[in-house]
Amino acid sequence: MDMDELFRRYFGTADLAEVAPSAMLAGKEKMLVDLGLETDRNKKFALWSVLFTLGDAPDLDVAFEDEVDRDAARNLMDLLAAAQAER
């Protein structure tokens, strides 16, 4: 999934700095619904990843049935934490 397309779909713009707090909340809620309904593993991971970076991702055992997907999510979490620590 293209990130700009994803942001436009849920927040109306690719620039999250332009999103009003109420629109941000509504976009996150829509993403959570779509995450629960999504059957494509790659799209589901993309949605979860964006929600994680925005601070609203559900727990891994709720978001992913497959342990491989949970491991991939843990790896992403570790990579983002390491990148943050380097700042």
pLDDT tens for each residue of 27-69 = 999 999 999 999 999 999 999 999 999 999 999 999 999 999 9
**Average pLDDT value over all residues in the chain:** 95
Count CB atoms within 10 A of the CB of residue 4. 11
Domain around 10: 3-86
Structural contact between residues 21 and 42, judged by C-beta atoms closer than 8 angstroms: no
This prediction has a pTM of 0.91
Cβ-in-10-Å burial (0-12, 13-18, 19+) of 38 comes to middle
Residue 1 has pLDDT above 70, yes or no: no
Indicate the number of domains in the chain: 1
